[in-house]
């Protein structure tokens, strides 16, 4: 079965180049990708992820709000009884990585991440959680 991914922009950040490019690269790698558009809240993302029955949620954040918003998406999923893993990509300083992992973010892809790395990590996380 193909891996299903929901990619999402949470909060006010309008930078959508990265999320669109990554979404296409994931499709090229055989994944099914759902994109819910700009200005989502943690709640709308969690609801959509559960409805779409995805294997993983990928957040894209370039505005610096990741420490606040990424954990809220994890929380919104868990509150709805879902254990769908959440990964994060964007401008994330290395100092934030440990705390994000503690708050339940399964993987973080910084601005230097390659397509190969993103695809293999997502595959790894999904096969582990299935």
- Site of interaction with other proteins (CB under 8 A): 11-17, 20-21, 23-25, 27, 33, 35-39, 41, 63-65, 67-69, 91, 93-95, 110-112, 114-116
> Smallest distance, Å, CB 38 to other proteins?
6
- Of the candidates 83, 9, 3, the residue with the CA atom closest to the CA atom of residue 45: 9
Torsion angle, CA of 127/46/71/27, rounded to 10 degrees? Answer: 50
> Smallest distance, Å, CB 130 to other proteins?
25
Choose between 64 and 83: whose C-beta lies nearer to other proteins. 64
Choose between 99 and 129: whose C-beta lies nearer to other proteins. 99
Choose between 12 and 129: whose C-beta lies nearer to other proteins. 12
> Smallest distance, Å, CB 128 to other proteins?
25
What is the DSSP code (8-state) at residue 40?
Answer: B
Non-local (6+) Cβ contacts of 97 within 8 A are 108
Is 107:59 a contact under the CB 8 Å cutoff? no
């Amino acid at each position: 079965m193909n891996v299903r991914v929901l990619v999402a922009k949470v909060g006010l950040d309008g930078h959508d180049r990265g999320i669109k490019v990554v979404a296409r690269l994931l499709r090229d790698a055989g994944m099914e990708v759902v994109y819910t558009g700009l200005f989502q809240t943690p709640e709308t993302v969690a609801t959509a992820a559960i409805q779409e029955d995805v294997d993983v949620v990928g957040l894209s954040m370039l505005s610096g709000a990741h420490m606040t918003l990424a954990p809220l998406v994890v929380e919104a999923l868990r509150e709805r009884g879902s254990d769908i893993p959440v990964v994060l990509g964007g401008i994330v300083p290395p100092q934030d990585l440990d705390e994000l992992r503690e708050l339940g973010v399964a993987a973080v892809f910084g601005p230097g991440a390659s397509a190969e790395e993103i695809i293999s990590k997502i595959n790894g996380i999904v096969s582990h959680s299935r």
